[in-house]
Structure 1
Amino acid sequence: MKLNSKVYKQLTNEPFEKHEINGKTVEFHYMDDTPFLTQFASRGRFAVWTSDGNDYKVLIESTYYEALKPFYQYDVNVIWLSFLDKVSSISKKINMLFIIPTLALYAIGAILTFVFFEEYTLQILLGLIIIVFISNMVQSKVVNSKVRAENQKTQDLIREHLGQDNFDELVKAQEEHYQKYFRFDEVEQTDTPAEQEAEAIPTEETPEDDNQQESDK
């Protein structure tokens, strides 16, 4: 399954870590060294998995990686890649179950309309479009539901592998990193009340000022 394939293609620098898992390569690249830092980290996405459909490249912010390194160890990546493979399989199966029948229904309906119900062409085609739209909505909900279920199973496996205490510590470290990254210091006001009041007093323009303004026009 392709994931953020455009990003994958642009990660051409040397990875700082590499794993070989079941015939697939998983490379780790620091987000700090790429133009994607602002794009992803500013939205709280400190780790982004990308793939060309076979191999993987993980784009990750450096301090996030250091704080959550156990989450990206070899054994955990084996579990996570298994999840990604399952998600890909689920998506393909459900898409085939929905897309092919929907397209067939639309094609048959359109043909029958033009042959037997030409005077109702617009109404029938609109009805078919609505059916396709509803089918896509149902398809999306089914896929999302199954993916969430697989994601929960995967998290449970990772929790079991790392141990509950270690897992909880990493979740805490993740939250602390998030808060630290987006912490902004309040700007201190350096002007005294007297200075602020003086700046607020309007001043009259002198004739010299008027002449200068005329020359600037």
Structure 2
Amino acid sequence: MARPLIYLRACATLLRRRLSRWRDSLAARRACWGARARALRASNAWPEPFAPGDAARAARLASGDLFLAGRRATLDGLSPFAITPPDAAWLAALHGFDWLDDAQAAGRAERAALRAWAFDWLRRFGGGAGPGWRADLAGRRLARLTTAAPLLMAGAGDADKRRLLRAIDAHRRFLQTRIGAVRDPLTQLEAATGLALCGLAQEGGAATAAWAAAR
């Protein structure tokens, strides 16, 4: 009797996960379709980065040695988004953009390499596709895109600047749609943090910041 019950519970859990992924995917595409390149406030009003970053770690990352979530991968000249990830935790760390903190402390060449990774993600997945469109990862990524916006825009062309601004707005729209379905407290916090920082950075974003703070 216990085995059928365990099997049914496992099936129900799998179904919920698949349904959640489908809803995430649909919400991401809708968010990206409706996103606008909304202006950001003056650079002196942007939120500060989470951490000052580590120059040595940035140099290792830029050289193609990616040690994330306890696992190492080597790029061999490829984009980090073009290689087979060692495991799911490594992939989550990559799509969460935590590594972008280290760009703040990097030298010019290393900073350019990490900036290129961010824009590569936007070109590959900025339309709502890929494994990074979940509330926790989108919240972490939005927080980094927002706090690193001055660094990312420095030297970027007009097309990339618009792409970044649209991506920030798409993440805001996605998280505002999906945060209500989140039950895990840490995921709620990550999503709300990303939204709050986005609200502080975007022109007219005070309502978003207040809404996120009330979650």
TM-score, normalisation: structure 2: 0.25
- Normalized per residue, the structure richer in strand is 1
Larger Rg: 1
